[in-house]
Amino acid sequence: MKVDIQNLLRATALAGFCLIPGLAGAETIHATIGASHPPAVPWVGQISKSFVPGVNAKLEAAGSEYRLDFTEAYSGQLYKANETVTALSDGLADIGWVFSLVESSRLPLTQVTGYTPGVLSDPVKLIKIFNDLNESVPALKDEWTAQNLVFLSATAGDSHQLFTNFPVKSLADLNGRKLSAPGTVGNWLQGTGAIPVDGTAASFYTDAATGLTEGATTVLTVAEGIKYTEVAPYVTITNLGSTYFGGLVANMDFWNGLPEEVQIAIRDAAHDYSVAVGEEVLQREAAFLEKLRTEGPTMSPPVTVTEMSAEDLKTWFAAMPNVPAAWVEASEARGLAAGELLQTYMKAARDVSATPLRDWDVEMREAQAAK
């Protein structure tokens, strides 16, 4: 008899969890964990490498009689990139990775780094900042709660670069070009003349291969995982900044039914997972960039790595409209504490030695004062 694995996984997820006698007196909690992206990217790969074994290691170390038995479903088996919040909110998976950059209507405040380019390029530091902010800023935590989700830990990528199928010798070369950008990151292209096309790692390659786009602003770790230089072999180092793009969450109904000791183990393992994600991102970013620099000319097609001049980068950011101020104004008109969050984030970034390319918080206050 042929078994439809996707329907089986969905049935398992919707069934919630049950306890059954396990080996050595342990009780097993069955849970489905999923992600829209493939394990090739660190924030999904580390779910299997770090989080899944980490939960049971924490339980064992605490002397708990509980163990979790995970059914893992990645690469969009259960839900696609634009369905992550809905799928987890509805219980299609018990725990999963949410891609917040394309969930602006459901997670508006979580978009703050998507509206503030050029602030911080270190994912380890950015992850720590947003692990802390999701605990200390009630409005940020409440966004997840409103979606029937429990935030567990943050994820972030390396700094955004340009990948194109044409050489970028100056900023003017971007004028009129169609470039993929995930969600709010499309705002970063304002001032260049480039045309942002919404997309994700799942669509970047096909969009460029079919001529829908001519490249993307994305990160080296994603480009490596999807072999993006095959269709966009011109890599321009811009270091536009890292983004906090969601993280690991649990369905609240599932979460509320768990014993407290299991909740503690999951949170602790999720924290370790986010640290592992940040460290892997940094390591892979450096390694892939070095590979492209040294082996790029012999690749098929040949890969060319250049750096955007400091003058062009300064011109780019100077030409960019005050996107954060507009975002704050629109958000606060809806009763959201966006201005407070923006200032808190910018302060936290400076506290870890970031030097923003534009002082978005200062400009926001100036714009408000001018009203």
355/11: higher pLDDT: 355
User: Is the pLDDT confidence value at 14 over 70?
Assistant: no
Pairing of strands 66-73, 215-219: unpaired
Q: What is the pLDDT of residues 198-215, one digit of tens each?
A: 998 889 999 999 999 999
Q: What is the pLDDT of residues 16-50, one digit of tens each?
A: 444 433 334 579 999 999 999 989 899 999 999 99
Whether the full predicted model's pTM is greater than 0.75, yes or no, is yes
Average of pLDDT values for 317-330? 93
Q: What percent of the chain has pLDDT over 90?
A: 87
> So what's the pLDDT on residue 371?
79
DSSP at 189:
G
How far apart CA 5 and CA 73 sit, in angstroms, is 10
> So what's the pLDDT on residue 17?
42
Average of pLDDT values for 309-338? 94
CA-wise closest residue to 110 among 143, 149, 155: 143
- Domains of the chain, start order: 5-155+244-283 (3.40.190.170), 160-242+285-323 (3.40.190.170)
Q: Which two tokens stand for residue 227?
A: 């072999």
CA-wise closest residue to 218 among 311, 46, 207, 109: 207
Map residue 34 onto helix, strand or coil: strand
Q: What is the mean pLDDT of the chain?
A: 92
Q: What percent of the chain has pLDDT over 70?
A: 93
DSSP at 222:
H
CB 118 within 8 A of CB 160: no
Average of pLDDT values for 290-309? 97
> So what's the pLDDT on residue 25?
54
User: Is the pLDDT confidence value at 15 over 80?
Assistant: no
User: Is the pLDDT confidence value at 118 over 70?
Assistant: yes
User: Is the pLDDT confidence value at 113 over 60?
Assistant: yes
